[in-house]
A and B are shown apart, each in its own frame.
Chain A
């Protein structure tokens, strides 16, 4: 345990060094306040935002949007990816559409969806879901198609029926790839969320960053940016932790 702690500290050290350098440069007058406020002030602003409770409704608004879009995308994406892998005609019908949708930078869909579905949460959630869908479908399809034939033979020779094969073998064998696709989708969800809140919103962390930036409250703006970064980081860590715990059979990369 202490070895893990030491490793964690050694990995944290560069970040702390960087923050210390920031603070020192501000204190020495090398970093003018209008370029970057001192780190201590940003930290104080973050604490104030948390203590006053101002941050929470925005966090809840953002997480709700991202969470719903993400959850819909994961459920639909896995189902669609498996269908594509098992049924030839579905694969042929969906592939051209995926090829068309893949290169579109998904945040560019935000204005159109706002025209169609209004400027509220529904359009944001739809774009987030669409953006997250693509990596999940592709990962599931590739994972399910790439299942080793010997594994399928092995299961058949031990009495698994063709219908049970999907649940007993194809899905578990594709899980590592699906898990990687879902991890990409988490990052995508946050990017599209922030973009959509920048473009038009009256609540959410993106909105908060944008409005503090607009009135020149740089310390508060940076505080929310840091909070968002921490949120994204811990979501990713929590997900990887879940995978380590429930998919111990697969060797995951360390980072």
Chain B
């Protein structure tokens, strides 16, 4: 994520940031209003924004938004619930590392969305297949980041806890988990983006409600305004979830110093 420069800037610099975007939008509006392009293909910006507003006023957007949101969060939550313990185990237990590490590092770069047809076949067209696919896809970053975090815990911490009487299982929760927290959170941050992406793609491909289906339907009916409004909603959702995760990180990891 690019972070805007935090230094104090003058008015000229602010204009430098705002003007190019504004110019693009203005040119778009003028070109489309002048009917230089087909308005069914390229509607004016204001029309898109009006449609976006109307989706909220007439309530069309709420159910798809809710579907996409809860599917993403359910899949992500399940992946955290399974992935964090598994990753910690892999980081501390030799046989777990031997078995799972190659599987997860092999599977990480692979396109899990290729499994959509198989998951539809197994879990149906509706919620379950989507939640399961989001779970599968989010599991990889969470397991791998947790594993690397647990693996990187300095043995000095473990020895120092051992000498104070901490047992093997408690060690995972009391020592390794907090020390891996920063890395785990990096994994969650990656997984949030993945969750929304997988939710939307699976909804576009196999239907079953959600913003992805809202969008693909609008496309099939040639309703560009609604397709655009759906895209805007998806983007805002993705951005909001990403920011919420970053906000939570600040709250949970306030004690963490070093490269955050």
Contacts and interface: CB of A to CB of B under 8 A. Distances in A.
B200 interface: yes
A221 B117 contact: yes
Contacts of A110: 204
A174 interface: no
B197 A107 contact: yes
Contacts of B238: 103-105
A148 to B, nearest CB: 16
A116 B42 CA distance: 8
A99 B20 contact: no
Interface stretch (B56-64, B79-87, B99-107): B99-107
Interface of B is mostly: helix
Interface in A20-79: 35
Contacts of B16: 89, 92-93
B100 to A, nearest CB: 7
Contact of B204 (A106, A111, A141, A190): A111
A248 interface: no
A95 interface: yes
Nearest to A228: B114
9 contacts: A15-B102, A102-B1, A104-B234, A108-B200, A112-B227, A138-B1, A195-B204, A198-B204, A232-B110
A198 B116 contact: yes
Given A10-B98, A104-B235, A18 B103 contact: yes
Contact of B41 (A103, A115, A232, A255): A115
B121 A115 contact: no
B114 A255 contact: no
A132 interface: no
A198 B204 CA distance: 9
Interface in B89-141: 98-100, 102-103, 105-106, 109-111, 113-118, 120-122
Interface in A210-255: 210, 212-214, 218, 221-222, 225, 228-229, 232-233, 236, 255
B204 A92 contact: no
Given A17-B99, A111-B216, A194-B111, 10 more contacts: A92-B13, A99-B4, A103-B235, A103-B242, A112-B227, A191-B113, A218-B118, A225-B114, A228-B111, A228-B114
A225 B118 contact: yes
B201 A195 contact: yes
A152 to B, nearest CB: 19
A29 B59 CA distance: 50
B121 A218 contact: yes
Contacts of A193: 111
Interface of A: 10-15, 17-18, 35, 89, 91-100, 102-112, 114-116, 138, 141, 186-187, 190-191, 193-195, 198-199, 206, 209-210, 212-214, 218, 221-222, 225, 228-229, 232-233, 236, 255
B234 A213 contact: no
Contacts of A109: 231
Interface of B: 1-2, 4-5, 13, 16-21, 41-42, 98-100, 102-103, 105-106, 109-111, 113-118, 120-122, 193, 196-197, 200-201, 204-205, 212, 215-216, 218-219, 222, 224, 227-228, 230-231, 234-236, 238-239, 242
A226 B215 CA distance: 30
A210 B236 CA distance: 30
B98 A105 contact: no
Contacts of A95: 2, 4-5, 17
A115 B220 CA distance: 9
A255 B227 CA distance: 40
A108 B215 contact: yes
B117 A209 contact: yes
Contact of A213 (B42, B117, B201): B117
Contacts of B2: 95, 98-99, 102, 138, 141
Nearest to B205: A198
